[in-house]
């Protein structure tokens, strides 16, 4: 399978695993973009020889330019550099794996070039789902999910899409590192505790989101937009083992599940190769030794972030952008050691009550909602 791929966020967890898949499947890394990790970007550029290596941080880009002076890799800096990588005509595919709202503009830029966009940046859809998908339609860009849950649903919907037979989408949730803890116990958990995820190794922001269960809430909103399902038809089930990646329940009560080892390289690869399946680097699932699989209900009282996200999903409009903006700012403060774990939902709740949601927003209204929500967290 020959694809020429731009990776937006190549030095992050998804970016690095994407390069594994690209190497194993004989694809080409045409352009790489990241925020500021000079050392790793240099290594990736030397190994994969992309046409472009871009770093959003100008100083880091200047450093990279010196380091790569003996190669013919074109080094770019700043948001403009990242956007150039996102729109590079030598790539037919973009993996959108930048973290947070910062991924919105580069992702949209790739969409406007009509590229195949493998979407790992969930914040983009949470904040601006309908607008982003409308642009994808207008520019003929195909958007495929990289998030493991959404990839699972995508796979379970194949052959049965759009026939009105889907009763419910069910997202599985590992429960995170604090599964089983009550509110009082969560009062005392630290940044280090929150950064220990039982099954997946990911970046700091998403790991904290997995600990608060906000990650699952964001995924509910993402699924709502990707599969045009109302919030009421999306459920969350706790599944500690992360083997069933999500399910679709049909009107005849049949449930289809997609299973696999917890390895992001499979959903990344499927987004790249769909509708084909090819052998790849992901770990096979050993059913005979994986132990029992368990399922249960989430505890919305101990994990209010999930309840807040479900509320934002029902409200719609800019509620997703408000929820996300406040959460990004609050998680930033938590990671900086400025606030406690339970302050994250408190701050998100405050933003949701102070900033009014607007229905069918324009992009400007979405950006305004994001800014206003962050303002309440300061």
Residues in contact with Mg ion by CB under 5 A are 147, 149
d(CA 6, CA 95): 6
**82 versus 213: smaller Cβ distance to Mg ion:** 213
Beta carbon of residue 206, minimum distance to Mg ion (angstroms, whole number): 8
Under DSSP, is residue 128 helix (H, G, I), strand (E, B) or coil? helix
In whole angstroms, how close is the CB of 148 to Mg ion at the nearest point?
Answer: 5
Give the total residue count for the chain.
378
Closest CB to Mg ion: residue number: 147
Q: Which is nearer to Mg ion, 147 or 299 (CB)?
A: 147
371 close to 326: Cβ distance less than 8 angstroms: no
Q: Which is nearer to Mg ion, 84 or 222 (CB)?
A: 222
**Shorter beta-carbon distance to Mg ion: residue 42 or 147:** 147
For tokens 């505790």, the residue is: 193
Residue 149 CB, nearest approach to Mg ion (Å): 5
Cβ-based nearer residue to Mg ion, 23 or 259: 259
Phi, psi of 107 (to 5 degrees): -65, -45
Q: How far is the CB of 268 from Mg ion (least distance, A)?
A: 12
Find the shortest distance in angstroms from Cβ 242 to Mg ion: 9
CB of 78 to Mg ion, least distance (A): 30
DSSP state of 377: H
Residue 312, both tokens? 């934002």
Dihedral of alpha carbons 307, 308, 309, 312, sign: positive
Say if CB 272 and CB 25 are below 8 A apart.
yes
Cβ-based nearer residue to Mg ion, 201 or 353: 201
CA 230/CA 215 separation, integer angstroms: 18
Dihedral angle sign, alpha carbons of residues 269, 273, 250, 222: positive
Choice between 222 and 370, CB closer to Mg ion: 222
Is 149 or 299 the residue whose CB approaches Mg ion more closely? 149
257: its two tokens:
């599940």
Contact between 245 and 148 under an 8 Å Cβ cutoff? The reply is yes
Q: Phi and psi for 280 in degrees, rounded to 5?
A: -150, -170
Cβ of residue 125: shortest distance to Mg ion, in angstroms?
12
**In the complex, minimum distance from the CB of residue 147 to Mg ion, in angstroms, rounded to a whole number:** 4
Torsion of CA 332, 334, 122, 120, to 10 degrees: 80
Q: Smallest distance from the beta carbon of 267 to Mg ion, in angstroms?
A: 9
H helices, E strands: number in the chain: 16, 11
Report the candidate in 284, 274, 347, 356 with the shortest Cα–Cα distance to residue 315.
356
Our CB check for Mg ion shows the closer of 146 and 322 to be: 146
For 218, the token pair is 């964001």
């Amino acid at each position: 399978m020959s694809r020429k791929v731009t990776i937006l966020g190549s030095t992050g967890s998804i970016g690095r695993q994407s390069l594994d898949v690209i190497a194993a499947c004989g694809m080409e890394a045409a352009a790489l973009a990241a925020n500021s990790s000079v050392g790793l970007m240099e290594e990736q550029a030397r190994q994969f020889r992309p046409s472009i290596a871009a770093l959003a941080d100008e100083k880091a880009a200047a450093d990279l330019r010196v380091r790569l002076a003996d190669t013919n890799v074109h080094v770019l800096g700043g948001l403009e550099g990242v956007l150039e990588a996102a729109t590079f005509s030598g790539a037919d595919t973009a993996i959108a794996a930048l973290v947070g709202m910062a991924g919105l503009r580069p992702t949209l830029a790739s969409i406007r070039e009509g590229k195949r966009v493998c979407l790992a940046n969930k914040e983009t859809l949470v904040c601006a789902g309908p607008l982003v998908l409308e642009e994808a339609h207008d520019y003929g860009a195909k958007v495929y999910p990289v998030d493991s849950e959404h990839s699972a649903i995508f796979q379970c919907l194949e052959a049965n899409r759009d026939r009105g037979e889907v009763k419910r989408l069910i997202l599985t949730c590992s429960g995170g590192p604090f599964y089983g803890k009550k509110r009082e116990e969560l009062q005392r958990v630290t940044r280090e505790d929150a950064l220990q995820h039982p099954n997946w190794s990911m970046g700091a922001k998403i790991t904290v989101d997995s600990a608060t269960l906000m990650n699952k809430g964001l995924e509910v909103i993402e699924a709502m937009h990707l599969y045009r399902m109302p919030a009421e038809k999306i459920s969350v089930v706790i599944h500690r083992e992360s083997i069933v990646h999500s399910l679709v329940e049909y009107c005849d009560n049949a449930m289809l599940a997609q299973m696999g080892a917890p390895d992001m390289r499979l959903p990344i690869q499927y987004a790249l190769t769909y509708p084909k399946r090819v052998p790849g680097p992901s770990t096979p699932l050993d059913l005979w030794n994986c132990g029992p699989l368990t399922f249960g209900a989430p505890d919305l009282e101990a994990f209010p972030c999930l309840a807040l996200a479900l509320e934002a999903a029902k409200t719609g409009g800019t509620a997703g952008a408000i929820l996300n903006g406040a959460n990004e700012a609050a998680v930033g403060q938590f990671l900086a050691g400025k606030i406690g774990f339970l302050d994250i939902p408190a701050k998100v709740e405050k933003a949701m009550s102070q900033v009014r949601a607007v229905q069918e927003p324009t992009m400007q209204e979405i950006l305004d909602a994001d800014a206003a929500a962050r303002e309440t967290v300061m």
